[in-house]
Amino acid sequence: MHNILIINCSPRPGSNSGKVTKYLQALISAKGHTVTVKSFEGLEIRSIGAGYIQPEEVTPEQQDILDVLAAVKHVIWVIPEYNRGVPAEFLSFTHHFGTKKYPFIWNDKVHSVVGVSSGIGGREPIFHFAKAFNYLISDVNGVNCYVSAYSLQSINTQDNLDESGNFIGDQRYADNAAKFVDRFLGITTHV
Ligand SMILES: Cc1cc2nc3c(=O)[nH]c(=O)nc-3n(C[C@H](O)[C@H](O)[C@H](O)COP(=O)(O)O)c2cc1C
């Protein structure tokens, strides 16, 4: 059994990404794994224009996420699509912490992604994530670190999940999510 981290990367309270996070947490917990959840809700990460965040400058809220990243081997990033891209907070997080000063984000780890939309979007976060994380792993010389090929696109999210992350919608949505979870858990043995 594994300890899986799910990070809700929406900065918005009551977000659809938060619903997806709760849904995946329930699906994975039901299979006997431990799930830790973290969120970017309200997370402040300064502009890279103010300089890279040095380890001694990390805020308690940022440290909370870094600590749990250091402790797990399997991470699912749940990222909303904003303007055919990703939220500024997620971009800033990767800019600041995608350096050799934070090797524990990369070493001995598998990262996977879920793209979230209220409509039929959600692909752009998946594309961006694969590109950015593969680049960062290479750039920081990450050891035994991988971006999972298995991703999930959460479309029409509010029609498929209620506020508590319970499934209420199209069976194809649930089938896709179940397939994603099974495939992701299937590769957890490799790291
Ligand atoms: C600033 C902003 C830009 C957005 N741009 C897009 C977009 O380009 N494509 C899309 O499918 N949804 C877009 N949306 C809608 C989000 O997909 C929707 O809010 C969804 O619920 C996921 O975001 P959330 O997890 O923050 O709720 C945007 C939402 C915001 C707040």
Amino acid code (one letter) for 9: C
Q: Which residues line ligand 1 (CB under 6 A)?
A: 10, 12, 15-17, 80-84, 116-119, 121, 157
Average pLDDT over residues 173-179: 98
Smallest CA separation from ligand 1 atom 29, residue: 82
> What pLDDT sits at residue 1?
85
Q: How far is the CA of 188 from the centre of ligand 1 (A)?
A: 30
pTM (predicted TM-score): 0.97
pLDDT in tens, 19-46: 999 999 999 999 999 999 999 999 999 9
Query: Ligand 1, residues 21, 81, 120: which to mutate, most atoms within 8 A of Cβ?
Result: 81
For domain 3-190, give the CATH number.
3.40.50.360
